[in-house]
Amino acid sequence: MKKRNLLHDPAILAKPGKKIKVSDFDPAYKGILNGKDEGVKLLEENVNELIELQDKLYAHNRFAVLLIFQAMDAAGKDGTIKHVMSGLNPQGCEVYSFKTPSATELDHDYIWRTYKCLPERGRFGIFNRSYYEEVLVVKVHPEFLMAQNLPGIKNVGAIDKSFWENRYRQINDLEKHLTENGTVILKFFLNVSKKEQKERFLERIEDPSKNWKFSSNDVKERAHWDDYMDAYSDMLTATSTEYAPWFVIPADRKWFMRYAVSNIIINRLKELKVDYPVLPEAEKAKLKDARKMLLDEDDKDK
């Protein structure tokens, strides 16, 4: 099987400091893999390796890992999270799916509802959508900002370029703070093509078992496709940093998308060099004493 570190693959990494356009990335890219069978096999191997790395991460207890997934509808966020993270210990992994903000959430700043869900040291936190919605769907539909009662924003006309630049800066500041305090951030934009999204929507409509996944609003949002691609391009350009990079994951082939995400997570964890703690000599001596006490119990029971 061919194994390659995709952390620095120029076909996937949104290189920090560069002008990024979504159109520069191929949604059907499959790297050097030969096909689905190979991708599925490699994913299975990666899941098993990820289970071991999670155990070491938990025992090491120095780092937290935050995985952020953003995508257009039907790109495969739920399926990717399910297939890549399926083998992890639930005690060390939590998934949060962020929907339309509640009234309480709107009375706080836009990061508040996600900040309180950040992972503890030794654990994985997975965001299915995130504070990035505030520079994506809200940028495409700036009227949504009116519900946030922001100072100086009384109408859509008051929202200018500097407003979005400030939000990008705020997000970068947050992520820099988190990474400096032990949270590893990996951000995945699952890049599905407009053609593939259409096929998946039709499948959801035609398959009764998938009807529940479809909303008529999905088609309405599809009409804003170009606006979303512009918003994603601006977001990738402004917020893909050395400390919290964006990966533009090809999503037209689900098997490659899942493999690529697992590959990136594993290789980033390996860079951390997490391992089981080594006890000091004094603690090792206590283990020997405890072992002797347990063995002595057997002698007494004879």
> Could you read off the pLDDT of 158-177 as tens digits, one per residue?
999 999 999 999 999 999 99
Residue 184 lies in a domain: yes
Q: Region 98-109: what's the mean pLDDT?
A: 95
* Amino acid 299: pLDDT: 67
Average pLDDT over residues 184-205: 96
- Count of CA atoms in the C-beta half-sphere (13 A) of 172: 17
In a domain, 265, yes or no: yes
How far is the C-alpha of 135 from the C-alpha of 168, rounded, in Å?
Answer: 8
- Give residue 279's pLDDT: 78
Amino acid identity for residue 17 in this structure = G
Dihedral of alpha carbons 285, 122, 260, 168, sign: negative
Q: Is residue 168 part of a domain?
A: yes
Q: In the chain, which residue ranges form alpha helices assigned H by DSSP?
A: 36-60, 77-85, 103-106, 112-115, 137-140, 161-180, 194-206, 216-222, 225-239, 254-272, 281-301
- Number of domains composing the chain: 1
Establish if 20 belongs to a structural domain.
yes
Residues across the chain: 302
Chain-wide mean pLDDT for the chain? Answer: 94
Question: Is residue 20 over pLDDT 60?
Answer: yes
In a domain, 1, yes or no: no
Out of 1-15, 48-62, 221-235, pick the least confident.
Answer: 1-15
Residue 67 forms part of a structural domain: yes
Residue bearing tokens 């990008």: 168
| Mean pLDDT computed over 190-215 | 93
What range defines the domain where residue 286 resides? Answer: 6-301
pTM for this prediction: 0.93
Instruction: Give residue 196's pLDDT.
Output: 97
β partners of residue 300 = none
- Exposure string of 15-33, with b = 16+ CB inside 10 Å and e = fewer, is ebeeebebeebebebbbeb
> How does strand 246-250 pair with strand 13-14?
antiparallel
Structure tokens given for 25: 């990335």
Give the whole-number percent of the chain exceeding pLDDT 90: 83
CATH number of the domain that 280 lies in? 3.40.50.300
